[in-house]
């Protein structure tokens, strides 16, 4: 049986909310999704890639809408990553149109992204609500991206 998680990450990959903001966000999820047993806030020292697992379908350049091959994307990932500093999210020329973009700018289907902070919850068994997202953004203090992970 697959495991499903809903991850909330800041739109700004470097942003880390205060401990109080993280606790408020956890409490909001607990009230909205009553049967959730696992809600984990996590902060990493460096920017980390947050994947969607088995939900992965494609990656597109937002400038020219060309679908990037996985090997092209892997090459970009290798260029941007260092063992000492994680992902730098430098602007890199895209192999399709030479537009300079960060890995976080790419269009991922299903959504994926990069962040230092993630708030991960077990499968809620229901749809995300716009109301909950707005409340979480207010509690955390920034815009959020939602990533549905399936493993």
> Domain extents for the chain?
1-45+112-151, 57-109
Residue-wise pLDDT for 39-85, tens only, equals 999 999 999 999 999 999 999 999 999 999 999 999 999 999 999 99
- Identify whether the C-beta of residue 132 lies closer than 8 Å to the C-beta of residue 8: no
Confidence band for 1, pLDDT divided at 50, 70 and 90? low
Mean pLDDT rounded to a whole number for the chain: 95
Confidence band for 115, pLDDT divided at 50, 70 and 90? very high
Q: What's the pLDDT score for residue 111?
A: 97
Q: Is the pLDDT of residue 127 over 90?
A: no
Higher pLDDT, 1 or 103: 103
Name which of 119, 32, 43, 45 is nearest 84 in CA terms. 45
Fold of 1-45+112-151: Alpha-Beta Plaits (3.30.70)
CA angle 17, 23, 28 (to 5 degrees): 105
- Identify whether the C-beta of residue 50 lies closer than 8 Å to the C-beta of residue 118: yes
- Give CA separation, 69 vs 7, 61, 106, in Å: 25, 11, 13
Percent of residues, the chain, with pLDDT higher than 90: 89
Rounded mean pLDDT, 122-142: 88
In Å, how far from its chain's centre is CA 34? 23
């Amino acid at each position: 049986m697959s495991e499903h998680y809903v991850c909330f990450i800041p739109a700004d990959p470097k942003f880390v909310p205060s401990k109080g903001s993280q606790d408020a966000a956890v409490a909001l999820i607990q009230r909205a999704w009553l049967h959730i047993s696992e809600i984990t806030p996590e902060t990493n020292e460096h920017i980390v890639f947050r994947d969607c697992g088995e939900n992965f379908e494609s990656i597109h350049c937002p400038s020219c809408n060309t679908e990037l091959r996985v090997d092209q994307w892997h090459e970009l990932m290798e260029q941007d990553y260092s063992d000492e500093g994680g992902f730098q999210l430098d602007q890199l020329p895209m192999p399709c149109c030479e537009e300079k973009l960060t890995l976080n700018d790419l269009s991922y289907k299903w959504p994926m992204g990069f962040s230092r902070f993630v708030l991960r919850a077990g499968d809620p068994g229901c749809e995300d609500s716009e109301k909950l997202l707005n409340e979480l953004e207010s509690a955390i203090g920034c815009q959020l991206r939602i990533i549905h992970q399936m493993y």
